[in-house]
Amino acid sequence: MPTSTIELHRVLRAPANRVYRAFIEGTALCKWLPPNGFTCSVDHINAIEGGTFALTFHNFATGEAHSFGGTYLELIANQRIRYTDQFDDPNLSGEILVTISLKELMCGTDIKIVQAGIPEIILPEACYLGWQESLQLLALLVETSVKN
């Protein structure tokens, strides 16, 4: 089955450790990962190499949900995250490989995301739109420092 690959790049005004944590902590993922119109629940998350995760996105307007999960292949603190991703829906079969590369900069963190093996039923432009919304929410989460 044909697949596609998308690549994204951003520079965030936040330290790499904060961006890294946003990708591996369940409460953080629920705050920023679902694109506009969706909420998220964490079924489980074990952010260690070989550990697994499972999330469910809920369409707030329709009440429909889709679940997905995968395995952490590589976790290098504040530098790199690689994991597999699979949808529970049999119409979206196949394994997606996601690589997040982080590089500490003087002004924040350079982040590169590569998502390879996206099933052909999912349009690349829809992935880009969803990721753009998610990355805006990620920036709001990690670029803000709240002090008591």
CATH architecture of residue range(s) 3-37+76-142: 2-Layer Sandwich (3.30)
How does pLDDT run along the chain (148 residues), one tens digit per residue? 678 999 999 999 999 999 999 999 999 999 999 989 999 999 999 999 999 999 999 999 999 999 999 999 999 999 999 999 999 988 888 899 999 999 999 999 999 999 999 988 889 999 999 999 999 999 999 998 877 6
Q: What are phi and psi of 110, to 5 degrees?
A: -85, 125
What is the per-residue pLDDT for 148? 66
Residue 37, number of CB atoms within 10 A of its CB: 12
CA dist 73 and 116 (Å) reads: 14
Q: For residue 143, give both structure tokens.
A: 């670029």
CA dist 29 and 142 (Å) reads: 11
CA dist 121 and 14 (Å) reads: 35
CA angle 8, 10, 16 (to 5 degrees): 115
